[in-house]
Amino acid sequence: MLISGEPGIGKSHLAAALAERIAGEPHTRLRYQCSPYHTNSALRPFIAQLERAAGFKADDTSEQRLDKLEALLAMSASGVQAVAPLFAALLSIPAGERYPPQSLSPIQQRRRTLAALLDQFEGLARKQPVLLLCEDVHWADATSLELLDLTVERMRQLPVLALFTFRPEFEPPWTGLPNVSILSLGRLDRDEVESMVAQVTGGRILPAEVMKQIVAKTDGNALFVEELTKAVLEGGILVEDAEGYRLDGPLPPLAIPATLQDSLMSRLDRLAPVKEIGQIGAAIGRDFSFSLLRAVVGRDETALKHALAQLEQAELVFRRGEPPEAVYSFKHALVRDAAYESLLKSRRQQLHGQIARALEERFADIVASQPEIVAHHFTEAGLVDPAIDYWLKAGHLALSRSANAEAVKHLGQGIELTRSQTPTAKRIRKELDFYLALGPAMAATEGYATPETLRVFSHARDLLGEGGTPAEQMTVLWGVYLAHLMRAENIAAREVAHRCLALAAEHEHPGMLALANRFMGQTLWTMGAFVDARFYLERTLDLCAANQETITSYRSFGTDDEVSALSALSRTLLLLGYPEQAAAVAGQALARARSLGLAFTTAFALDGEALLGALGADLKRAAVHADEAMAHSIEHSLADYEQRARFIPPTRDRTYAERHCSDRAHQKRESAHALSRPFCRCPREPRPA
C-alpha cells in the first residue's frame, strides 16, 4: 500500500493506527524510517532496524554485538555463519578472526548483502505474517530504494503487508504492479476537523469563534489541527467549565497562531525551561540518542531526564527504550524543523560543532560507520577542514560498499567545500583526492561515455599534472582512456594509450606496461589496424606470462589483462583470416576468466565469445554466450554487459517480446529472479523496432 500525502496530513498516524489495531494478532513488525539526514547513507533505514532488533547497546563490545547479531539471524534463517560476515560488515562490526576472510569485490559484497537481507526478510515471513512499515520513502537513499524494489518483487508470494508513506513529489516505481495499491490522503473537511478537535479536547466543546479560526487557519492539515488545538488549550485564553470551554473576555487578535510553525513555537515557548533541550535535539536530527544529547549538553543526568520527560508529556517527542540507551524521535519532521529554525544561526553553528566533536571523542562506532553524519555537522558548523576530511572518508566508505550513487553525493559535497578555500598546493592535493575517488563512482553510475564522467577524469588529470604517484597517474589515464574509447573518440584514446606506454616505460613497471599495451591493441583493433593491434595484444600476453604476480596486482584497473588481451586477440585473428586460431584463443580467455572467478572479467570474456560468434556468422555460438552473459550480468549487476548481450541475436527459445521489451521497469523487476528466469517476459506487445 502506497500512502501519499503532504507533510502533516496523517500518513504516519494512519500506519501507526493500523499497527495498533493488529497488535494482538501474531505477526512480525518491521519498521524502516527514512530521514533527510541519511539520504546518502547507503541502507541506513535497514541498518537502524537491524540494530534495534538485535538490541545493541552503546557500551557493547564487538564480540557482544556479534553474539546478538547471530541470535537475531538465527530467528529467520539457517546457515548463520555463512551470512553473519555480510551483516557484520554492513553494521560496521569488527569481526576479527571470528569468521573466515572473504575475498569479495565491492560489487560482490553489495550483491550478496542485498541477497542476504532479502533472504532474512523471507525467512521471517515464512514463519508468520509480516507488517512492513517504511516511512518517508521520499528520503530513502539509492541503495535502499533498490532493496525495496527487490523486496516488493519478493513479497508477491509471501504473507506480507507493506505500507510505504511518502510525499506527493516522490514517484514510486511500484505503481501498476498487481500486488500494489495507492492511497492518496487529502485534507480534512470541516466536519473531520471538528471531530479531530473534539478528540484532542476530550469531547469538550470549544467556543464557536475559536473553532472557526482553527478550521480556517489549519486548512484541513491534520498535524496543524492537533497542534493548534493544543496550543489554544495551553494558551490561557480559555476557561474550563462544566459544559466545555469558554472565552474569558474578547478573543485577542493574535491569540491563535496563524501558521503551523507559529503554533509549534508557541508550545515550545511555554516549555521555556526545557526548550533548549528540544533545540539541541533538533540540531542532532529527527532522532537523537540520550547518550549523544548528554555528551553535548553536559548537564546533570537527572535534570536532563526530567527535561526530556516534559517534552514527552507534551507529545513533541517520543522515546524508545530507557536511558542511557534511550532514543528520542520528534513527533514529526515539521516539529523538528520548527525547533531547529528557532535557533539563531550562530547558535546552530556552535551546536553542530559540539555535536561533531562529541561524536569524534565518544562515538567511534558512528564515526566509523557513518562518517557522512560527522561531515554534515562539521559542515554546518563552518569547520571546513575537518568537514572535507570526513566527506572524503564517507566517499571512500561508500565506494568500498559499491554504493556508488551515495559516493558521488558525498564526494560532491567535499569538492564543493574544497573549492571554497583559497587555492594552495594543499587544497589542490585534497581536491585531487576527491576526483580520484569520484571518477570510478561516476563511471559506475553514469557510464564511461557520458560527458560528466570524462569531465571528472579530465579534471583529475589537470590537477595531477606531472606529479602524483605512478598508480595515481595510471588511475587518471585509465579513466580518460575508457571515456574516450566508449565515446568512439579513437584518436584521443590512442593518444592516451601512448601516454600510458610512456609512463610505463619511464617507471619500468611491467604491470603498467601490460595495461598500456592492451589499451593500444584494443584501440587499434577498433580503428581497423588489425596487424598492429595483433602486435600489441601479443606483447601484452608475453608480459603477462613473464610477470604474473605484478600483473595480478594491476587487476584493479578494470579486468584481468590476460583475459582482456586474449579476447581482443581472438577477434583480431578472425578478421585477419585465422578463424581456428581465433576460436582457440577465445576459449582460452573464457577458461581463464572462469578459473579466476571474477564477475567483471567473466562478463568480459563471455561478451568476447558472443561478439566473436556474431562477427564470424556463427549465430548459435553468439546466442549461447550472449544468453549466459546476460544472466551473469544481471546476477552481478553489470548493466553495461547486460545491454551488450541484448544486441546479440537470440536463441530460438527466447520470444520476440523477451528480446525487445521496452518496459525497463519490468526488466528491473524481473532481474530480481535473474538466476531462474533471467529474461524479461513482458506480456505486452512491444513497439516495432
Domain assignment present for 376 = no
Query: Exposed e or buried b for every residue in 44-82, given b needs 16+ CB within 10 A?
Result: bbbbbbbbebbebeeebeeeebbebbbebbeebbeebee
For 94, 285, 447, 550, the CA distances from 263, given in Å and listed in that order, are 47, 21, 49, 68
On whether both 250 and 156 belong to a single domain, the answer is: no
> What backbone phi and psi angles, to 5 degrees, belong to 245?
-120, 145
Task: Judge if the upstream peptide bond of residue 324 is cis by omega within 30 degrees of 0.
Answer: yes
The 3-state secondary structure of 248-261, one letter per residue: CCCCCCCCCCCCHH
> 282, 336 in Cβ contact below 8 A?
yes
> 399, 556 in Cβ contact below 8 A?
no
Measured between its terminal Cα atoms, the distance across the chain in Å is: 36
Model pLDDT, residue 146: 93
> 517, 568 in Cβ contact below 8 A?
no
Relative orientation angle of helices 579-596 and 561-575, to the nearest 10 degrees: 160
The answer to whether the Cα torsion of 631, 637, 639, 640 is positive or negative is negative
Over residues 524-549, the mean pLDDT reads 92
Each residue's pLDDT tens digit, 320-335: 999 989 999 999 998 9
Model pLDDT, residue 420: 92
Counting the structural domains of the chain, the total is 2
Each residue's pLDDT tens digit, 27-48: 999 999 999 989 999 999 999 9
Q: Quick one: how many helices (H) and strands (E) in the chain?
A: 33, 10
Over residues 95-103, the mean pLDDT reads 84
> 565, 521 in Cβ contact below 8 A?
yes
Contacts of 357 (CB under 8 A, 6+ apart): none
Domain assignment present for 404 = no
Torsion of CA 39, 42, 48, 53, to 10 degrees: 150
- 28 forms bridges with which residues in the sheet? 130
**pLDDT > 70: percent of the chain:** 92
Contacts of 190 (CB under 8 A, 6+ apart): 215
Over residues 448-466, the mean pLDDT reads 90
> 675, 637 in Cβ contact below 8 A?
no
> 462, 450 in Cβ contact below 8 A?
no
Q: How far apart are CA 282 and CA 340, in angstroms?
A: 5
On whether both 22 and 169 belong to a single domain, the answer is: yes
Over residues 581-596, the mean pLDDT reads 93
Domain assignment present for 467 = no
On whether both 135 and 87 belong to a single domain, the answer is: yes
Helix (H) or strand (E) run with residue 106 in it: helix 106-127
Q: How far apart are CA 407 and CA 106, in angstroms?
A: 13
Relative orientation angle of helices 425-446 and 451-464, to the nearest 10 degrees: 150
Q: How far apart are CA 17 and CA 22, in angstroms?
A: 9
**Pairing state between β 245-247 and 238-240:** antiparallel
Model pLDDT, residue 684: 34
Q: How confident is the model at residue 678 (pLDDT cuts 50, 70, 90)?
A: very low
Over residues 608-613, the mean pLDDT reads 92
On whether both 119 and 176 belong to a single domain, the answer is: yes
> 348, 340 in Cβ contact below 8 A?
yes
Domain boundary (207, 241, 266) is at 266
Q: How far apart are CA 306 and CA 47, in angstroms?
A: 30
Most confident of 230-239, 266-275, 429-438: 429-438
On whether both 158 and 10 belong to a single domain, the answer is: yes
On whether both 152 and 173 belong to a single domain, the answer is: yes
Q: How far apart are CA 115 and CA 225, in angstroms?
A: 44
Write the burial class of residue 180 (CB in 10 Å: 0-12 exposed, 13-18 middle, 19+ buried). Answer: middle
Each residue's pLDDT tens digit, 418-429: 999 998 989 999
> 569, 561 in Cβ contact below 8 A?
no
On whether both 30 and 151 belong to a single domain, the answer is: yes
- In the structure grid, which three cell numbers stand for residue 35, read together? 530521514
Q: How far apart are CA 641 and CA 231, in angstroms?
A: 60
Q: How far apart are CA 538 and CA 541, in angstroms?
A: 5
Each residue's pLDDT tens digit, 142-172: 999 999 999 999 999 899 999 999 999 999 9
Question: CA nearest 432: which of 386, 476, 396, 493?
Answer: 476
The answer to whether the Cα torsion of 254, 260, 265, 270 is positive or negative is positive
For 259, the domain range is: 190-266
Model pLDDT, residue 668: 43
Domain assignment present for 136 = yes
Q: How confident is the model at residue 552 (pLDDT cuts 50, 70, 90)?
A: low
Cα 276 versus chain centre, distance: 33
Domain boundary (223, 239, 266) is at 266
Contacts of 176 (CB under 8 A, 6+ apart): none
Q: How far apart are CA 145 and CA 136, in angstroms?
A: 12
Q: How confident is the model at residue 350 (pLDDT cuts 50, 70, 90)?
A: very high
On whether both 211 and 121 belong to a single domain, the answer is: no
Domain assignment present for 422 = no
Domain assignment present for 65 = yes
On whether both 129 and 224 belong to a single domain, the answer is: no
pLDDT reading at 474 higher than 80 = yes
Q: How far apart are CA 124 and CA 684, in angstroms?
A: 34
Over residues 214-218, the mean pLDDT reads 92
Q: How confident is the model at residue 104 (pLDDT cuts 50, 70, 90)?
A: confident
The answer to whether the Cα torsion of 216, 221, 222, 227 is positive or negative is negative
Each residue's pLDDT tens digit, 249-273: 777 776 788 888 888 888 888 888 7
- Residue 91 sits in a domain whose CATH number is 3.40.50
Contacts of 445 (CB under 8 A, 6+ apart): 404, 405, 408
The answer to whether the Cα torsion of 96, 99, 100, 104 is positive or negative is negative
> 58, 324 in Cβ contact below 8 A?
yes
The percent of the chain in helix, strand and coil, each rounded to the nearest 5, is 65, 5, 30
Torsion of CA 134, 136, 139, 141, to 10 degrees: 0
Domain assignment present for 434 = no
**pLDDT > 90: percent of the chain:** 64
Most confident of 237-246, 344-353, 604-613: 344-353
For 20, 195, 217, 344, the CA distances from 13, given in Å and listed in that order, are 10, 16, 21, 31
**Mean pLDDT score of the chain:** 88
pLDDT reading at 507 higher than 80 = yes
Domain boundary (240, 266, 292) is at 266
Domain assignment present for 82 = yes
On whether both 175 and 194 belong to a single domain, the answer is: no
Q: Any long-range contacts for 60-67 (C-beta under 8 Å, 24+ apart)?
A: 62/93, 62/94, 62/95, 62/96, 63/98, 65/91, 65/93, 66/93, 66/95, 66/98
The radius of gyration of the chain from alpha carbons, rounded to an integer in Å, stands at 30
On whether both 211 and 92 belong to a single domain, the answer is: no
Q: How confident is the model at residue 650 (pLDDT cuts 50, 70, 90)?
A: low
On whether both 133 and 247 belong to a single domain, the answer is: no
Q: Poorest-confidence range of 282-286, 479-483, 633-637?
A: 633-637
Model pLDDT, residue 379: 97
Q: How far apart are CA 329 and CA 158, in angstroms?
A: 31
Higher pLDDT, 79 or 645: 645
